[in-house]
Amino acid sequence: MAAFTLKLPGPMTIFPSRLLLVAALVLPSAVLPSIASAQQQAYIDDRLNQLQQTLTMLTGQLEQLQYSNTQLKQQMEKMQADYEYRLDTLEKGKGGGGARPPAPTPTPMQNERLAPPPSTASAAPPLAAGGNTAGADQMYNEAFKLLQDGDYAGAERGFKSFVQRYPQHVLAGNAQYWLGETYYARRDYQSAMTSFAEGYKLYKASPKGPDNLLKLGITLSALNRKPDACAIFARFGQDYPKATDLQKRRVDQERSRNGCG
Instruction: Report the chain's terminal Cα–Cα distance, integer Å.
Output: 77
Kindly indicate the confidence band of residue 135, based on its pLDDT and cuts at 50, 70 and 90.
confident
d(CA 216, CA 192) in angstroms, rounded, equals: 8
Give me the pLDDT at residue 116, please: 39
pLDDT at residue number 8: 43
Mean pLDDT of 72-81: 53
Please write the tens of the pLDDT for every residue from 40-50.
666 666 655 55
CB-CB contact of 238 with 207 (8 Å) = no
Cβ atoms within 10 Å of 39's Cβ, excluding its own: 10
Label residue 89 by pLDDT band (50, 70, 90).
low
pLDDT band at 6; cut points 50, 70, 90:
very low
Say what percent of the chain tops pLDDT 70.
49
pLDDT in tens, 153-183: 999 999 999 999 999 999 999 999 999 999 9
* pLDDT-above-90 percentage for the chain: 48
Residue 226 pLDDT greater than 70, yes or no: yes
Full-model pTM: 0.56
Kindly provide the b/e burial profile for residues 112-144, where b requires at least 16 CB atoms within 10 angstroms of the residue's own CB. eeebbbbeeebeebebeeebeeeebbebbeebb
pLDDT bin (cut points 50, 70, 90) of residue 134 is confident
